[in-house]
Amino acid sequence: MEKNQRRIPGGIDHYIGMRSRYFVLFVLPLCPAVVWSAPFSSRNTPAHTGGHPSDAEIEQSLRTKLARSKIGKDGFQVHVKGGVVTWEGHTAIPQHKGAATRMAHASGAARVVNNIHVDGGAGVGHPARKVEVKTE
């Protein structure tokens, strides 16, 4: 050691020793808990493990979500075949069309065919609203 340097009591060796003790006493005992809890996780459903949910599971999920959602009042028809969700219907609110697509993807659909028509307040069997623009 040089003449002008001071030695820190405990030094770096003391610091490393404390870190390894902390790791052994507090971190390592938690590792088995993390490993053993993984098989019992609620995220182990087919939709979360990389597998694809069945058509019935997708359709049930969509019907449940539709019942709780504002877009359920639009009376959309939904069909699921081979993981492909097909939407049919009419709405006056353009955002409902996008919400239906997002809802289908969130339910596990591989693909979504959105045949919902946005028609300015007209429903099935009603003519679309006409707008006149007057120019001078």
Are the C-beta atoms of residues 112 and 85 closer than 8 Å to each other? Answer: yes
Q: All domains of the chain, ordered by start, with CATH?
A: 55-118 (3.30.1340.30)
Are the C-beta atoms of residues 85 and 78 closer than 8 Å to each other? Answer: yes
pTM over the 0.75 mark? no
- Would you place residue 2 in the very low, low, confident or very high pLDDT band (cuts 50, 70, 90)? low
Average pLDDT, the chain: 76
Higher confidence at residue 25 or residue 91?
91
pLDDT, tens digit, 9 for 90 and up, residues 109-127: 999 999 999 986 545 555 5
Q: Kindly list the strands in the beta sheet with 111-118, ordered across the sheet, starting from the edge strand earlier in the chain.
A: 77-81, 84-91, 111-118
